[in-house]
Structure 1
Amino acid sequence: MIRRIDQPPEPGRRYTRRAGVYAVLMRGDRVLLTHQQAPWPEVQLPGGGIDPGEQPLPALHREVREETGWTMQVVRRLGAFRRFTYMPEYDLWAEKLCTIYLARPILRLGLPSEPGHSAIWATPRQAAEILGNPGDRLFMASLV
């Protein structure tokens, strides 16, 4: 069973299961994060949903590149959590199944290609405080 983080599902609400992959991108004493401007400003672990027919690790490489402009190398799987949330960008109530990997940023290709995203660097301690969702904060705090 995958551990639930944050709010329980609302009784009677229908949720769509949405699998996603995310990376804690460590380089020296810094971690690479993404700042998403909309639907509200939020600092996040880079990553996102796995598209139909896509495998998890290629999806993670794609998402990290789109949201940070960096390539990366996966080190290991850290774990997973699930959360029940509304995703306004999709007008969707989702049960998000989030798998978190430890990875290393390798090469900066340029600016993020995902609209509204910017790459930011922080210390792991800062990241554990500023990450927007409690699951991301939990995994970051476990590395501090």
Structure 2
Amino acid sequence: MIRRFGAPRNRAQTYTRRPGVYAVLLRGTDVLLTFQAEPEPEFQLPGGGIDPGEAALPALHREVWEETGWRMAPLRRLGAFRRFAYMPEYDLWAEKRCTVYLARPVRCYGAPVEPGHTAAWVPLADAAALLGNPGDRHFMAAVARRIAG
């Protein structure tokens, strides 16, 4: 069974499964996060939903570029989690199934193209506390522990 973070499933609510991919983008002792201004301002792992007919890794490359302006090289899969959330931008109740990868940012091609997103370099030691959802925090903290030795 995949680990759940956040609010439990509301049995009275119908959810749409929404698979997504996200990256912990590590460069030295810093990580690249995305700051999303709307609907609620928060720091997030770069990434997002996998479009119909799209494979996971191409979706991850696309989402990281859209939200940060960077190209990246995935290193390995860290794990997965799910969370139940309302997505106001889609007017959708979703069971988000999030797969997280460790990746290396390779080259910046400019500012994020996703409206309302800003790329932010953050010290690895501070990153988990900034992230807006507990699943993202869990994987970021695991990477920080592994790096700290």
Counterparts of 1:27 and 1:116, CA distance in 2: 24
Q: What is residue 147 of structure 2 aligned with on the other side?
A: none
Counterparts of 1:46 and 1:56, CA distance in 2: 14
Tell me how far 1:40 sits from its aligned partner: 1.2
The equivalences for 1:84-123 within 5 A come to: 84-123=84-123
Unmatched 5+ residue regions in structure 2? 145-149
Counterparts of 1:70 and 1:46, CA distance in 2: 10
Counterparts of 1:13 and 1:115, CA distance in 2: 29
Counterparts of 2:74 and 2:83, CA distance in 1: 23
Counterparts of 2:143 and 2:74, CA distance in 1: 16
Counterparts of 2:6 and 2:40, CA distance in 1: 18
Q: What letter is aligned with 1:67?
A: E
Q: What is residue 140 of structure 2 aligned with on the other side?
A: 140
Tell me how far 1:54 sits from its aligned partner: 0.3
| Alignment of 1:57 onto 2:57 | yes
Q: What is residue 83 of structure 1 aligned with on the other side?
A: 83
DSSP-derived class of the 1:97 partner:
strand
Runs of 4+ in 1 over 6 A off after TM superposition: none
Tell me how far 1:7 sits from its aligned partner: 1.0
Unmatched 5+ residue regions in structure 1? none
DSSP-derived class of the 1:52 partner:
coil
Q: What is residue 126 of structure 1 aligned with on the other side?
A: 126
Q: What is residue 29 of structure 2 aligned with on the other side?
A: 29
Q: TM-score, normalised by structure 2?
A: 0.95
DSSP-derived class of the 1:138 partner:
helix
Tell me how far 1:20 sits from its aligned partner: 0.1
For the aligned residues, what is the CA RMSD? Answer: 0.6
Q: What is residue 46 of structure 1 aligned with on the other side?
A: 46
Counterparts of 2:94 and 2:52, CA distance in 1: 16
Counterparts of 2:12 and 2:111, CA distance in 1: 42
Counterparts of 1:124 and 1:134, CA distance in 2: 16
Q: What letter is aligned with 1:94?
A: A
Counterparts of 1:83 and 1:124, CA distance in 2: 24
